[in-house]
Structure formats: structure tokens, C-alpha cells
Amino acid sequence: MTNSPFVSIVIPCRNEEEFIAKCLDSVIANDYPKDTLEVLVVDAMSEDGTREVVDGYAHRYPFVRLLDNHKKITPVALNIGIKHAKSQIIMRMDAHAAYEKEYISKCVQYLNEYNADNVGGIWKIVPRDDTTIGKAIALVLSHPFGIGNAYYRFATKKLRWVDTVPFFCYRKEIFDKVGLFNENLTRSQDMEFNLRLKSMGYRTLLVPDIVSYYYARSDFGSFCRHNLRNGVWAIYPLKFTTITPVSWRHMVPLAFVLSLIGSGVLSVVSPIFLYFFLFISGSYTLANLFFSIKIAAEQKNSRYLFLMPLIFTILHISYGLGSLWGLLKVMISAQFWKNRFSSLGANRK
């Protein structure tokens, strides 16, 4: 790429010894000119060998720097990186991911070519462990029945203007207009920022030939815990912001769990609710089995006939229960109601 603009890459991380080298190797292997690149690894005071690994790269590659994040949360890391960035184009990358060779150059190309305000690509989910369960989890997290219309998670083949993308590629000036990342949001801060971006008339472009690879959790325990936390943080950000921080697809598991609990409890009062409960659970089971059988046939692996229904159910129920807990925490929060009343007062004016 001739006349390449300077690019700053911000990589938040904490205890990523297992993945940070793979991430940095993929960045270094990118075709973008290294004399117009800086890589800022913002570490949350890792307690494993992450810092030593990054220090090694910083000694070998002068464009790699290690910065400290004493508050140990992602939005703070992002804001530290943005404030230290020397360039006018800032990209975020994730420590437990890897990036194709043209990732950086294509982000910059499409940012300029389409006059976009944010650019991102396809997020291909790969298992951390090469096991049948790990592969099945990765398939669930890449399937529309598992994750809804998150186009960046499955192989869309055309450019799309979307609500959000994994990671980001912004011009630095956008932060002067929209603000920095909300440091109250330990999760969902990227979704909230991109929806704030959209509400102010700025546009996010999803480009299918920009590709990164995310290493998904490969065991049931960590998969379930991760989805519970994600479910909580799909709703809990409402405590801190008046902008709905997620899209409708993030609310579906909550609606599913609430309908099951509500109809199940009310079925002791009236058989109508029992029929409603059976209809919901039966419809979900049929849809789950249909997609599970289809995946098993496509993958030519009979073990998926037993694994896929279980993993789909764990994903949706754990996420929905997490969202329910997040909703309860929001409803008893004085800050949530204070924000809402303040917003109503401002709208009346």
C-alpha cells in the first residue's frame, strides 16, 4: 500500500499468555508497512507471563509498546490506548484472536473508500481446544439459531451497514465527537459505543473479506459461565446509560426464559398457561433438533446429534438467566431510575 496513513492498534489484555503471541505474530505478519504502524498492548497488570511475552516483542519490534491498565477493565484499556495513540486512524484488536494478512490494509482501504466512520469484518469462531465439544461450541456460536442476525459471526457475502462489528477501525477525530468508551461498562462497551455512534448519524461498515479468528471456550463449564456474564451485561449497562446498549437479538434469550418461567408458574393457576408453556418449549425443541440434525449432516458427524441440542440449550438458557439477573440488578438500582427521570425531564424541555 503506497502512501499508507499511520495506524495505531490498541490491544487490551489480561492474563493472555496462551494467546498474545499468536495475536502479535498475526499483526506482524500483516502486509501493512511497519514504519506507519504502532501496536499498543494495554495490559491489566497480568499475573501470568503475558507481560514478559509482550516485553519480548517490544524489544524485537520498535513499533510494539506495553502500557499499563491499573483499573483492569476493558473500556479503561481502550481509552488509555486512544489517548496514547499517535495516529489519526485507531484500530482495536483482541488478544485472544488472530488476523488475516490483509486485515489492517483492508480496514484502512474501506474506511476511506466508503467514507465510513467505523469498519470491521467477519469474526470466525474457532475452538481453543481441538475436541469434538470445542468444535461443536464453535459451530453453535457461528450459527444464526445460536446467535441471531449477528452478520459478523457468519459468512455474509456482501458489504453491509450494521449496528456493530467486532473490534473497530475509527478515525481518531470520532472520539472528539462521540466521546470515549463508557468506563462503567466492563462488558458491552463496544456495542454501546457503536449504538451511540449510530444515534449521532455515523455509520459502521461490515466487510466480509476482512477476517479475524476468535478462539472460543471449549468446555461446558467456562462456556456456561461466559454466557451467563454476557447475558448479565446485555441488560446491566442500562444502569449507566440512557442509550439501549444492545440490539433486539440480545433480548430474545431473556424473553424466552421469562416466558418459560412465567407460563410454568402460572400453569398451577390455569391450564391455559400449561398449554402455553408446552407450546413454547415444544417449538424450541423442534427448532433446536432441526438445526442440530442439519449441522450434524453438514459436518458428517453423528456425535453432533447429541451435542448440538445440548449446547444450543446451554447457550440460550444461560444467557437468558444472566439477562434476568442483570434486569433485576437494574430494577433495584437508584442510578437507573435517576438517569431515566433526568432523561424524561430533559426531553420535556
- Give the per-residue pLDDT at 333: 80
- The torsion of the CA quartet 282, 136, 24, 94, rounded to 10 degrees, works out to 10
- Give the per-residue pLDDT at 246: 64
The grid coordinates of residue 324 equal 434476568
The grid coordinates of residue 135 equal 468444535
Strand segments, DSSP code E, in the chain are 7-13, 37-43, 64-68, 89-92, 97-99, 118-127, 160-162, 168-171, 204-216
- Give the per-residue pLDDT at 2: 53
What pTM value is reported for the model?
Answer: 0.85
Q: What are the structural domains, with CATH classification, of the chain?
A: 7-218 (3.90.550.10), 248-348 (no CATH)
pLDDT tens for the chain, 349 residues: list them: 457 899 999 999 999 999 999 999 999 999 999 999 999 999 999 999 999 999 999 999 999 999 999 999 999 999 999 999 999 999 999 998 999 999 999 999 999 999 999 999 988 888 888 899 999 999 999 888 988 766 666 656 789 898 888 888 999 999 999 999 999 888 878 888 888 888 899 999 999 999 999 988 888 899 999 999 989 988 887 887 666 666 677 789 999 999 999 999 999 899 999 999 999 999 999 999 999 999 999 999 999 999 999 999 999 999 999 999 999 988 888 777 776 666 555 555 5
8 Å CB contact between 28 and 61: yes
- In the chain, the amino acid numbered 195 is L
Please classify residue 46 by burial: count the beta carbons closer than 10 Å to its beta carbon, then call 0-12 exposed, 13-18 middle and 19+ buried.
buried
- Give the per-residue pLDDT at 243: 64
- Which of 163, 152, 171 lies closest to 203 in space, CA to CA? 163
In 3-state terms the chain splits into helix, strand, coil percentages (rounded to 5) of 55, 15, 30
Q: Which residues pair with 58 in a beta bridge?
A: none
Backbone angles phi, psi at 208, to 5 degrees: -65, -20
- Give the per-residue pLDDT at 285: 97
- Which of 215, 204, 36, 237 lies closest to 123 in space, CA to CA? 215
* Rounded-to-integer distance, Cα 48 and Cα 128, Å: 18
